[in-house]
A = this chain, B = another copy of it.
């Protein structure tokens, strides 16, 4: 498949690949989204009381129509959340941080979450995957979503092959308005692309308006997701008004880098085992991977580190802490100590290992309990 989305000499962002030194300002310009400014943050804070760390730190940094979402909310027209996961392998930390943020939005705004598992997507795009594989991963990945504590009364799983009785008809309405040349331009399809992959984006549009179909009235939709999925939503935003529904609004996150770092390796990816922390990793696996593979901004020797200090801006363990450490004060102290040389690379890694392992210990317990809750979350027609 050809490469599309946004691509320059330095970085590439598509729904299938994210790599390079990403200039998020350029990306916002290229994609035509808006940055979340202090005024908008203030507006969010009025509703939420406090700002989520990922908002405070500019990790959820870009949006489309978020002001409109809040206008409607203020008028009493509540939005619903929509995000999803193409089930093709185990869930990693990059997924969990986005979903934790989505859960925070659910709690603070008291809204529904429609969570899509497009179990046909990776089957269609990857030769080696079977529908049995993606069925298995749907279940496994769903356990992680449930473990994060989404409200079972307000959270609905849509599994494409299971809910096709509801979704295919709606996808056809989208598909009728999308011709091959547009799909080709947005996703880089060619003559060798299979016809299922070509159709698929129509299925990904459906959860953005299906809750409106079900309720029988037009409801605003807000999609929290990493910004690489934006091309799909651009299509939804183009077509949904043509078939009588609102454009879905979006709030975009930056990428959690793989342990190898953004420049060398790109965003964290399920298929790169050594540089990815999975939700089901053992304490030892977490410790070993971070110690061995996490790209460090520290100096080559302790003496030199004490003298010159480390560079947190290229240090993956520090970058990771900006995604998962709740306390701004603690994070600032870590940064200061690292820059001054007081904190060594090994010590910084140890902090991250502890944070992740204590989080995963709890998460894995909740994940076990989630096994009895799966069916409760699957949307009942």
Please give the residue numbers on chain A whose beta carbons come within 8 Å of chain B beta carbons, in ascending order. 120, 123-124, 131, 160-169, 171-173, 175-181, 183-184, 189-199, 201-202
Known: A180-B180, A180-B189, A199-B199. A194 touches B165 (CB 8 A): no
Question: Chain B: which residue is nearest A173 at the CB level?
Answer: B131
Partner of A175, one of B164, B178, B196, B202: B196
Whether B190 contacts A180 by the Cβ 8 Å rule is yes
Q: CB-CB < 8 A to A197: which residues of B?
A: 175
Q: In the complex this chain forms, how many copies of it are found?
A: 2
Task: Assess the B194–A178 pair: CB atoms within 8 A.
Answer: yes
User: A164 CA to B160 CA in the complex, in Å?
Assistant: 10
Residues of B with C-beta under 8 A to A120? 168-169, 172
Judge whether B193 and A175 touch: CB under 8 Å: no
Contact assessment for A162 and B161 in the assembled complex, using a CB-CB cutoff below 8 Å: no
Contacts of A176 in B (CB 8 A): 123-124, 194, 196
Please determine whether B179 and A199 come into contact, CB atoms closer than 8 angstroms.
no
Minimum CB–CB distance for A49 against chain B, Å: 42
Contact between chains at A172 and B196 (CB < 8 Å): yes
- Contacts A169-B131, A172-B131; is A179 near B192 (CB within 8 Å)? yes
- Can you show 15 pairs from A to B with CB atoms below 8 A apart? A124-B175, A131-B172, A131-B173, A161-B168, A161-B172, A163-B165, A171-B196, A175-B199, A176-B194, A180-B189, A180-B192, A181-B192, A183-B195, A184-B191, A199-B199
